[in-house]
Amino acid sequence: MREVRVRVPAKINLGLAVAGPRPDGYHDVATVYHAVALYDEIVAVPHDRVEIETHGEQADLVPDERGNLAAEAARLLARTAGVDAGVHLTVVKRIPVAGGMAGGSADAAAALVACDRLWGTDLPREQLLQLAATLGSDVPFALLGGTAVGLGRGEQLTPAMARGTYHWVVALADGGLSTPAVFAEIDRLRQGRELPDPSVPAELMAALRRGDPVELGQALSNDLQPAALSLMPELAKTLEVGLGDGALGGIVSGSGPSVVFLVENAERALDLSVVLSAAKVCRDVIRVTGPVPGARLIEAVRG
Ligand code: C5P
């Protein structure tokens, strides 16, 4: 292939239950991932080594090939499949960096799909998912997309029975939060407390089965929210403005600091985004729908 182009969505967590720390430092979770129509795009062309360039408003916050998860994904695939080739990856970044929407994981998933096609390695889906899991807890979901339950570190996925399309308003914060820092903060806040095994709330699954946005709004939950609020207290104001305007529900997404609000329809989404912008409680506001599929090939140019 001469050029391969892949599109990959951001995720939000509709529910995120977090256990205490494991001996390996990770936390077992029970989460419901939901892929939303906010995409990064990756273009892969042959090169003599692995190289990456990033475009977009936050491009300067993205590490170069030495610390970039997408570059690591390409190197891992080459090693695993015994490929002696490089790749030049161009990333068009729209998913917020360090925003709790798995932007870095998304790019890693996209790089796996792109390089697998570029190099003709054609690994079985199951093996790509395994490679994804070694790269990061959220990377397998970026391959899968849709709405899915994640157990273990989040990498053990089962697609969820979910009906309907949901309208979300995402308030992007000024600055990011480090995922390890947010997990460490929840450990600190919950120190000494007996924690139940993490589980996905039955009401959340029932709301998804029924496709009922009102019930879903009430069932949204995130154990990491108190930690994100503790590290970034101004997020409380964002939540207050959105919920005060009548959103069906609102939570911090994953480890934050992006805050997502569920609303009834596209018109309500526009209204709420105007209210959030006017209140000056965030850097930017975007409207997205979900669920959408995971990393997908858009174009593969032969040559
Ligand atoms: O899996 P990933 O590399 O994306 O995780 C980044 C960091 O987030 C981990 O090093 C860990 O500190 C924290 N984490 C965790 N439990 C999870 C997922 C992530 O503690 N289930």
**Nearest alpha-carbon partner for 151 in 142, 140, 162, 143:** 140
Q: How far is CA 239 from CA 2, 65, 127, 256, 281, in A?
A: 46, 36, 40, 12, 9
How far away, in angstroms, is 211 Cα from ligand 1 center?
Answer: 31
How far away, in angstroms, is 288 Cα from ligand 1 center?
Answer: 26
Where in the chain does DSSP place strands (E)? 3-21, 27-47, 50-55, 86-92, 147-151, 156-159, 166-172, 221-222, 249-252, 259-263, 284-290, 296-301
As a whole number of angstroms, the distance between CA 76 and CA 81 comes to 9
pLDDT over 90 at 30, yes or no: yes
Q: How far is CA 56 from CA 50, 60, 101, 171, 298, in A?
A: 20, 9, 16, 18, 19
pLDDT over 90 at 303, yes or no: no
Q: What residue's CA is closest to ligand 1, atom 10?
A: 180
Judge whether 280 counts as a catalytic residue: no
pLDDT over 90 at 1, yes or no: no
pLDDT digits (tens, 9 = 90+) for 253-276: 999 999 999 999 999 999 999 999
The residue from 107, 138, 223, 245 that is catalytic is 138
Q: Return the half-sphere exposure (C-beta side, CA atoms, 13 A cut-off) of residue 43.
A: 10
Task: Give ligand 1 pocket residues (Cβ under 6 A).
Answer: 25-27, 29, 136-138, 153-154, 179-180, 183
How far away, in angstroms, is 32 Cα from ligand 1 center?
Answer: 16
The residue from 11, 40, 107, 245 that is catalytic is 11
How many CB atoms neighbour CB 79 within 10 A? 10
As a whole number of angstroms, the distance between CA 270 and CA 252 comes to 20
Judge whether 237 counts as a catalytic residue: no
pLDDT digits (tens, 9 = 90+) for 169-224: 999 999 999 999 999 999 999 999 999 999 999 999 999 999 999 999 999 999 99
User: Tokens for 13?
Assistant: 């967590």
Q: Where does residue 221 fall: left (phi above 0), alpha (psi -120 to 50 degrees), or beta otherwise? A: beta
pLDDT digits (tens, 9 = 90+) for 81-99: 999 999 999 999 999 999 9
- The 8-class DSSP code of residue 48 comes to S
pLDDT digits (tens, 9 = 90+) for 34-82: 999 999 999 999 999 999 999 999 999 999 999 999 999 999 999 999 9
pLDDT over 90 at 126, yes or no: yes
Mean pLDDT over all residues of the chain? 97
How many CB atoms neighbour CB 129 within 10 A? 19
Helix axis angle, 69-81 to 125-135, nearest 10° = 130
Residues contacting residue 291 through CB under 8 Å, at least 6 positions apart: 34, 35, 36, 145, 146, 147, 162, 165, 166
How far away, in angstroms, is 101 Cα from ligand 1 center?
Answer: 14
Instruction: Name the percent of the chain lying above pLDDT 90.
Output: 98
User: Tokens for 9?
Assistant: 């969505």
pTM (whole model) above 0.85: yes
